[in-house]
Amino acid sequence: MNPANTSAQSRLRNTWHRHAQRLARRMNLGFWLAGFLPLLFSAGLAQAFLLLWFRRNEIGSGFSWSLFAVILVVAAGYAGYRQRGRRYSPRDALVYLESRLGLNNALTAADNGVAPWPDPANLPPRTLPAWSWRRIAPWPAWTLAVLVLAASLPVNPAPSTPPPPPVEPIAWGEIESWFQTVEDAEIVENAALDAFREQVDALRRQPPGERYSHSSLEATDALRQRSERALRELRENLEKTARALAAADAFPDGIPSGWEAALREDLTGAITGFEEGLLRIDADLLDQIRELDIQNLSAMPEDDLKNLRECLDAGLAACDAALGDRDSEDNRLLAAFPGPGIGKGPAPAPLSFRDDRALDAVSRRESVPNDDLSRAALGDRVGVGIGDEPDTDRPAYTGPVEPGNMAHPGGGGEAVSRESFTPDEQAVLERYFR
């Protein structure tokens, strides 16, 4: 081979090698992208969620972006590592070129010194594989879209105040309000009230999660009933005392002997109740009640009596306020309408259907009111109606109307067949007896 040919061959060799190296670089970049792009999208998705979380918790997003960059670097390395078996060497690229260009492996042969290098000028210009943007572009586009969305989406910051404590059972507050009312009246010793309050506090000290446990609710209910009973006992004793005092006022010349014993018995019972009850009243007040002589009330100082009356009234009012208005309302109604019956006060409504024409003049319908449905049980009657149709026995046989006439002809044997047999059985019988 002459020097000119050698120089030309060397030039061609360099040209083809440059082509091959460029192709190998593009191929390897293509393989790396094929491995990296899905990882990029996954990392972008994770970063978007992280970004949203940071924004919601009002934490600076600088850390998440740094983490994202580190993840991308690791993903890039991993993609390169995974695609290492597919890497194109310049020699592989030469084979690809000669195969695509239909060169009959001339480049490989030339590279091995067996054949001359072909002239690339005579070959088609577009030998490098083109980028498939349709497969590349969606990955970064979606990643960018997700990140932009995560960065710009309006996010409500998470509430910074601690969550409110769990709601405590209503009964605790109710019990405390009862005793507060009684305490304000200043007729009961504080030690007795504190004993109840201590029990409420004991219930309140248990873990919040335990407040609605079965045992807690049971203890709460027992405490509530006990407190209510104590208040009712207190009210009853105060009322007995007030009644005795009122009777003494009503008979300034002396209580009739028939009533005196009963009033003394009531007063004694009240004092015993004050002494032994769950709510011990104030010691001075109790002494005044003990010293009360209903037969000789004028002997007592006027101021003391007045003070005693005010205390008793305040105590009763406090008990009524604590226990609610139900009792006092019922009492007022009973006092206004002693009954019984319509327009005369509360009375039991007729609870059976009957053709009571006497009621027509008043109303065709009336009901038994039951406002407190929480106390209703299954089977309780909550309303009674009276109408035109309860006369359910009208077609019943009434017996002979007049001598010689037949009230009902009867069905005879046919009735047995008609009323006892099924249609199939009737058909069988008809066929048999035809």
Return the number of other C-beta atoms located less than 10 Å from residue 219's C-beta: 15
Which segment (102-110, 141-149, 328-336, 419-427) binds another protein by CB under 8 A? Answer: 102-110
Q: How far is the CB of 115 from another protein (least distance, A)?
A: 5
Find the binder of another protein among 3, 62, 124, 162 (CB under 8 A).
124
Say whether residue 266 binds another protein (CB under 8 A).
no
Find the binder of another protein among 6, 7, 66, 99 (CB under 8 A).
99
Q: How far is the CB of 114 from another protein (least distance, A)?
A: 4
When computed from its CA atoms, the radius of gyration of the chain, rounded to whole angstroms, is 52
Find the binder of another protein among 13, 232, 243, 280 (CB under 8 A).
13
Find the binder of another protein among 40, 47, 111, 150 (CB under 8 A).
111
- Measured from the CB atom, the residue of 29 and 347 that comes closer to another protein is 29
Q: Please answer whether residues 294 and 263 qualify as being in contact, where contact means their C-beta atoms are separated by less than 8 angstroms.
A: yes
Find the binder of another protein among 101, 217, 323, 359 (CB under 8 A).
101
Q: Give the CB-side neighbour count of residue 241, counting CA atoms within 13 A.
A: 30
# residues near another protein by CB under 8 A: 38
Q: How far is the CB of 1 from another protein (least distance, A)?
A: 10
- Measured from the CB atom, the residue of 50 and 79 that comes closer to another protein is 79
Which segment (23-31, 192-200, 263-271, 300-308) binds another protein by CB under 8 A? Answer: 23-31
With a CB cutoff of 8 Å and minimum separation 6, the contacts of 91 are 20, 108, 111
Find the binder of another protein among 3, 60, 102, 395 (CB under 8 A).
102
Say whether residue 243 binds another protein (CB under 8 A).
no
Question: How far is CA 255 from each of CA 133, 244, 296, 372, rounded to the nearest angstrom?
Answer: 114, 10, 9, 42
Say whether residue 387 binds another protein (CB under 8 A).
no
Q: Is the dihedral of CA 285, 286, 291, 295 positive or negative?
A: positive
Give, as ranges, the residues between 34 and 73 that touch another protein (CB under 8 A): 34, 37
Q: Please answer whether residues 101 and 124 qualify as being in contact, where contact means their C-beta atoms are separated by less than 8 angstroms.
A: yes
Say whether residue 135 binds another protein (CB under 8 A).
yes
Q: How many Å apart are CA 163 and CA 191, to the nearest integer?
A: 36
With a CB cutoff of 8 Å and minimum separation 6, the contacts of 89 are 24
With a CB cutoff of 8 Å and minimum separation 6, the contacts of 365 are 385, 386, 387
Question: How far is CA 274 from each of CA 197, 268, 287, 306, 311, rounded to the nearest angstrom?
Answer: 20, 10, 11, 20, 14
- Measured from the CB atom, the residue of 13 and 309 that comes closer to another protein is 13
Say whether residue 82 binds another protein (CB under 8 A).
no
Say whether residue 21 binds another protein (CB under 8 A).
no
With a CB cutoff of 8 Å and minimum separation 6, the contacts of 269 are 237, 240
Q: How many Å apart are CA 74 and CA 85, to the nearest integer?
A: 19
Which segment (28-36, 327-335, 369-377, 389-397) binds another protein by CB under 8 A? Answer: 28-36
Find the binder of another protein among 8, 12, 26, 228 (CB under 8 A).
26
- Measured from the CB atom, the residue of 27 and 175 that comes closer to another protein is 27
Give, as ranges, the residues between 394 and 423 that touch another protein (CB under 8 A): none
Three-state secondary structure call for residue 372: coil
Q: How many Å apart are CA 307 and CA 287, to the nearest integer?
A: 13
Say whether residue 3 binds another protein (CB under 8 A).
no
Q: How far is the CB of 31 from another protein (least distance, A)?
A: 4
Q: How many Å apart are CA 175 and CA 193, to the nearest integer?
A: 11
Q: List the structure tokens of 46.
A: 């994770």
Q: Please answer whether residues 200 and 176 qualify as being in contact, where contact means their C-beta atoms are separated by less than 8 angstroms.
A: yes
Which segment (107-115, 266-274, 310-318, 423-431) binds another protein by CB under 8 A? Answer: 107-115
Say whether residue 130 binds another protein (CB under 8 A).
yes
Alpha helical stretches, state H, 251-342: 257-276, 283-290, 302-323, 326-336
Site residues (CB under 8 A) for another protein? 13, 26-27, 30-31, 33-34, 37, 86, 88, 92, 95-96, 99-102, 104-106, 108-109, 111-116, 124, 126-132, 135-136
